[in-house]
Chains A and B, each alone.
Chain A
Amino acid sequence: MAATGEMKAPARRAVAPAIGGAPVTARAVLLVRVVVALAILAVWEGLSRSGLFYGEVIPSLTRIVASLGKLLVDPVFYKNLQVTALETFTSLAIGAALGVVTGIVLGANRFLMRAFEPYVYYLSPTPRIILFPVMIMWFGVGPASKVALGALSAYFAVALSTAAGMRQIDAILIRVGRSFRATGWQMATKIYLPAMRVPILNGIRLGMGTAIITVLLAETKLSNQGLGYMIMQVYTRFDMPGLYAILIVVFAIAGACNALIGKLAREQV
């Protein structure tokens, strides 16, 4: 693995000449990112101080940071975070497992693929939140209805991406498996799954994104725990710095998970 890293390192640092002639270096990219972040913060602070907006709509950065500090030591926050994390994780696990199986079945069977593709394809972009009332009737107002909804949204992303990955498998590897007389189960676990690990991981990354959104959204609608519920509470108190603090934490966590899975997928080449 160390050797792979060594060999790939130069590619990542590749100094390709940009159209303008200036070389694109990792450092320049980082610099631009930092400048953009600083600019956004500066504009925010400027707007906040300008007094153009009503009261707390755009609170000053110092107040947001103070709220963030308070939030990060608040046990209630951690309790809600735990609820949301657990709901998201469970829904992702269920949705991804069912999605991988569906993807393999559809990808392996041209007839089933043609029969079911329209359903998966056209249903996948519909907003799942409209099904929330149904889920509440089926699973109650507790975490189960959020998990069900989250699983449903992760499911489509993983199924589509797995089915697509299935069709891209190098046919020769399947012939190798057959020539060694691999059983159906061995073909699935030792050839199909590892050969599709990149599309599957990408599907899981997308699925996680929609699962987080769906779970949070469902929590804001009807619940008595979770970060979504906490956001609505803070909002009804009109505690804007508190609201922004939670949003920052949610963005940070979602971004970190995304980066982690993305990194896993990139390592698998």
Chain B
Amino acid sequence: MSAVIEDIRLQPAMVVDDVVKRFGRGDELVTAVDHVSFNVQQGEFVSVIGPSGCGKSTLFNIIGGLLGDYEGSVMIGDERISAPHPAVGMVFQEESTFPWRNVIENVAFPLELQGVPKSERMDRAHHFIDMVGLASFEKNFPSQLSGGMRQRVSIARTLVSQPKILLMDEPFAALDEQTRLLLGDKITQIQQELNQTTLLITHNLTEAVQLSDRIVVMTYRPGKVKRIVDIKLPRPRTSDVVGSDAFGHYVAEIWNDLREEATRGMADSESAAARRGSHG
């Protein structure tokens, strides 16, 4: 019996194997994701980091099943992802709350789709709203909340469906640094509370080191895996870890890899801007 449980534990929650995604054709062909492989263990927090335009959102959409047409495989158990999978819960980079629903109705949305009876879904939604610290805003509409609060609503809405794998695409990109650190604390806390397997897509280095067990560093165009770094900072972790020496080492080490890619990305977007400029 215990051997079986051991086996399940050892099995990765998700395996990304040799994934390739190209857009367009001919001269316009862009390889957004180029032979990317890595896996995520049960209960693990993995970040994918890379400069803008390196194919992170493309990878996010593939894993989320919103981009079914790709090469290679993303496996959950023995299923290859080609459509949204019930085990995966997505949190999007963009503002994605429903403006016509108040906070609790927003969070209860996935349960409503599953046909969970009203009183139960309100209870469950309440639990996760509490978890993200919005208990006193349940009846407010998104337009009455700050950007950070709306992003927490989106996170609670995804958590309420109790996904085996939480998949987030730069959920804090639009937030200021302080809010970002504090929300990071919330995420760490939730992840530890639920033993939540999480894949975070980000371009923010401190965020990645603060939160992750492992970081997948991507190259800029084509988006390949440059390196995978284990983050052996102690858990439980809070944003205080940001001040520690070990944290600084990790940041410096990964920045070394990232700088080169970010520089290429910057040069690329500058020459693109110049091309646009010369075209008038």
A178 touches B100 (CB 8 A): no
**Per-position binary interface string of chain B over residues 122-157, scored 1 when its CB falls under 8 Å from any chain A CB and 0 otherwise:** 000000000000000000110110000000000000
Q: A176 an interface residue at 8 Å Cβ cutoff? A: yes
A175 touches B110 (CB 8 A): no
- CB neighbours (8 Å) of B101 from chain A are 194
- CB neighbours (8 Å) of A190 from chain B are 109, 112-113
- CB neighbours (8 Å) of B94 from chain A are 172
Q: How far, in whole Å, are A4 and B99 apart by their CA atoms in the complex?
A: 12
A173 touches B161 (CB 8 A): no
- CB neighbours (8 Å) of B66 from chain A are 175, 178-179
- For window 177-234 of A, CB contacts with B under 8 Å fall at 178-183, 186, 190-191, 194-195, 197
B143 touches A269 (CB 8 A): yes
Residues A172 and B92 in contact in the complex (CB < 8 Å), given A179-B64, A194-B98 = yes
Q: Which residue of B lies closest to A186 (CB)?
A: B113
- For window 202-256 of B, CB contacts with A under 8 Å fall at none
- Determine how close the nearest CB of chain A comes to the CB of B82; give it in whole angstroms: 13
Q: B201 an interface residue at 8 Å Cβ cutoff? A: no
Q: Which residue of A lies closest to B88 (CB)?
A: A179
A7 touches B144 (CB 8 A): yes
- CB neighbours (8 Å) of B268 from chain A are none
A180 touches B113 (CB 8 A): yes
Q: B72 an interface residue at 8 Å Cβ cutoff? A: no
Residues A4 and B141 in contact in the complex (CB < 8 Å), given A180-B113, A186-B113, A190-B109 = yes
Q: How far, in whole Å, are A179 and B168 apart by their CA atoms in the complex?
A: 12
In-complex Cβ contact of B86 among A3, A172, A181, A182 (8 A): A181
Q: B95 an interface residue at 8 Å Cβ cutoff? A: yes
Q: How far, in whole Å, are A128 and B227 apart by their CA atoms in the complex?
A: 69
Residues A179 and B113 in contact in the complex (CB < 8 Å), given A194-B100, A195-B100, A268-B100 = no
* Number of B residues with CB within 8 Å of any CB on chain A: 25
**Per-position binary interface string of chain B over residues 47-91, scored 1 when its CB falls under 8 Å from any chain A CB and 0 otherwise:** 000000000000000001110000000000000000010101110
Q: Which residue of A lies closest to B90 (CB)?
A: A179
- Determine how close the nearest CB of chain B comes to the CB of A259; give it in whole angstroms: 22
Q: Which residue of A lies closest to B100 (CB)?
A: A194
- Determine how close the nearest CB of chain A comes to the CB of B257; give it in whole angstroms: 31
Residues A180 and B110 in contact in the complex (CB < 8 Å), given A3-B140, A175-B66 = yes
- CB neighbours (8 Å) of A197 from chain B are 100
- CB neighbours (8 Å) of A178 from chain B are 66, 84
- CB neighbours (8 Å) of B84 from chain A are 178-181
Residues A181 and B113 in contact in the complex (CB < 8 Å), given A175-B92, A269-B143 = yes
- CB neighbours (8 Å) of B92 from chain A are 172, 175-176, 179
Q: How far, in whole Å, are A195 and B92 apart by their CA atoms in the complex?
A: 18
Q: B96 an interface residue at 8 Å Cβ cutoff? A: yes
- CB neighbours (8 Å) of B65 from chain A are 179
- CB neighbours (8 Å) of B100 from chain A are 194-195, 197, 268
**Per-position binary interface string of chain A over residues 1-19, scored 1 when its CB falls under 8 Å from any chain B CB and 0 otherwise:** 0011001000000000000
Q: How far, in whole Å, are A194 and B100 apart by their CA atoms in the complex?
A: 7
Q: How far, in whole Å, are A173 and B96 apart by their CA atoms in the complex?
A: 6
A4 touches B113 (CB 8 A): no
Q: How far, in whole Å, are A62 and B33 apart by their CA atoms in the complex?
A: 81
Q: How far, in whole Å, are A268 and B88 apart by their CA atoms in the complex?
A: 32
- CB neighbours (8 Å) of A172 from chain B are 92, 94-96
Q: Which residue of B lies closest to A183 (CB)?
A: B113
A180 touches B144 (CB 8 A): no
Q: How far, in whole Å, are A45 and B62 apart by their CA atoms in the complex?
A: 74
- CB neighbours (8 Å) of A3 from chain B are 140, 144
- Determine how close the nearest CB of chain B comes to the CB of A159; give it in whole angstroms: 22
Q: Which residue of B lies closest to A198 (CB)?
A: B100
Q: How far, in whole Å, are A183 and B101 apart by their CA atoms in the complex?
A: 19
- Determine how close the nearest CB of chain A comes to the CB of B8; give it in whole angstroms: 24
- CB neighbours (8 Å) of B161 from chain A are 180
B residues whose Cβ falls under 8 Å from a Cβ of A: 64-66, 84, 86, 88-90, 92, 94-96, 98-101, 109-110, 112-113, 140-141, 143-144, 161
Besides A176-B98, A179-B84, A183-B113, 5 other A-B contacts (C-beta < 8 A): A172-B92, A176-B96, A179-B90, A181-B113, A182-B113
17 contacts between A and B (CB under 8 A): A3-B144, A4-B143, A7-B144, A172-B95, A175-B92, A176-B92, A179-B65, A180-B110, A181-B84, A182-B113, A186-B113, A190-B109, A190-B112, A191-B98, A194-B98, A195-B100, A197-B100
**Top 10 closest pairs, chain A to chain B, by CB:** A179-B90, A172-B94, A180-B110, A194-B100, A172-B96, A181-B84, A176-B96, A179-B84, A182-B113, A180-B113
